[in-house]
Amino acid sequence: MILQNSLINLLIGLDIGGTKTVVVAGNKKLQIMDRYEFLTKPEYGFDNFFERVLNHISKISASHLLGAIGVSVGGPLDVKRGILYNPPHLGWGTVYLLDEMRKHFKCPIKVEHDAKAGAIAEFKLGAGKGLKNIVFLTLGTGLGAGIIINGQIYRGSNNIAGEIGHMRISDHGPSVYNKTGSWESYCSGDGIAKLANYMFPDRFDKKITTKEIAKLANSGDEKATEVLKESGKYLGIGMANLFDILDPDRIILGSLSLRLPNIWLEEAKRMVKREALDGERAVNRIIKSMLGEEIGDYAALIVASKALKEVKNGS
C-alpha cells in the first residue's frame, strides 16, 4: 500500500476513456508536472486495466508524495460511492472503483462523471469562462453532457443528469447500450464507426474505426463523407433540442469536433439553424473546446483539487 502525506498537495488526475487513459500529476495551480498516456483496452477487463493504472501512479509516487486523486470517467455511475454501472464504452459490469482506489491510497479520492468534469474544466479555464450557463458534450468514444446552470453543475435528483447519449434520436440506426437510434449510436466515436457499417455494410465492415472514416472522408471518399454528414445531421438535431430546452450561453464540443473533417460540424450547424428556435443565434453559440486534447487532463486534476478542498473544509 502506498502511504501518503496530507501536507504534500501533489494532485493526481486519472482520466479514463474508452480508447485511452491518462494519468497526470499537477500542483494546486493546476499546472501539469508529469503525464502518462496508455491504451485503455477495456476488452481485457477491469483488473488488467487497474493494475496498469497502479503501475503508472506508482511511477509518480516513487518521487512524490500525493495530496489527492481525482478520477474522471464516463457513466452511468454513482459519483458519491464511486461505482461504475457498466458504461457502454468500457463494458466492465459493475465496478466499485472508489473502494478499489482506497485499498491502495490513503489520500483523498474523488470520482466524477467525465462530462461533468469536462464542463467544470471549460467553465473555469476554457470556453465557458465568464459565462453562467453552458453545456459541454464529451464527443469521445462515448457521448455525455456536463450541464452548468447559473454557475453550478446540474446533477439531477439521482445524480445522473447529462446521460444524453442514451436518448433516442431516431427509430432506426445502429445500437449502442442496447438502444437502437440513440444519440450516442449516431454521434460518438464508437457510434460513427457502427453507423458506417449500418449504412454501408458492403463497404465498411464491423472493424472500421471512426478515425479511418475521417481519413477516407478527407481524401474525398463519397460514402465516408455521407456517413459523417448523417452523423452531423443528428448531432445538429440533438443540439437544437438542447438549445430549445436549456437555452445555454454556449454548447462546447469535445474531442471529435477537433478530429473530424469540417463537413461533420458544418452539417450539424446547418441542422441547428433549421431546427432550433433561435436559429442562427444558436449556431453562433456552438464552440469547440478551448482546452482541446488536454481537457481530460485538466478535468481530472480539477476533480483531485475538489477532493483536497472537501477534506480541508470538512465536507
Closest CA to 145 of 38, 46, 235, 13: 235
* pLDDT tens per residue across span 211-241: 999 999 999 999 999 999 999 999 999 999 9
At residue 282, does pLDDT exceed 80?
yes
Phi, psi of 280 (to 5 degrees): -60, -35
How would residue 103 be classed by pLDDT, with cut points 50, 70 and 90? very high
pLDDT (mean) for 119-127:
96
Give the per-residue pLDDT at 188.
95
Distance CA 66, CA 304 (A): 10
At residue 260, does pLDDT exceed 70?
yes
Question: Is the peptide bond preceding residue 88 cis, with omega within 30 degrees of 0?
Answer: no
Give the per-residue pLDDT at 3.
38
According to DSSP, the β-strands at 83-85 and 94-96 are: antiparallel
Model-level pTM?
0.90
User: Which triple of cell numbers denotes residue 204?
Assistant: 465498411
* pLDDT tens per residue across span 132-151: 999 999 999 899 999 999 99
At residue 315, does pLDDT exceed 80?
no
Q: Domain 127-290 sits in which CATH superfamily?
A: ATPase, nucleotide binding domain (3.30.420.40)
At residue 254, does pLDDT exceed 90?
yes
The tally of CA atoms less than 13 A away on the side-chain side of residue 105 is: 24
Give the per-residue pLDDT at 6.
39
* pLDDT tens per residue across span 18-48: 999 999 999 988 999 889 999 999 999 999 9
How would residue 312 be classed by pLDDT, with cut points 50, 70 and 90? confident
Give the per-residue pLDDT at 65.
78
Q: Where are the domains of the chain?
A: 10-114+294-312, 127-290
Give the per-residue pLDDT at 152.
97
The answer to whether the beta carbons of residues 254 and 295 sit under 8 Å apart is yes
At residue 5, does pLDDT exceed 50?
no
Domain 10-114+294-312 shares a fold with domain 127-290? yes
The region of weakest confidence among 25-34, 61-70, 181-190, 217-226 is 61-70
Architecture in CATH of 10-114+294-312:
2-Layer Sandwich (3.30)
The answer to whether the beta carbons of residues 69 and 107 sit under 8 Å apart is yes
How would residue 1 be classed by pLDDT, with cut points 50, 70 and 90? very low
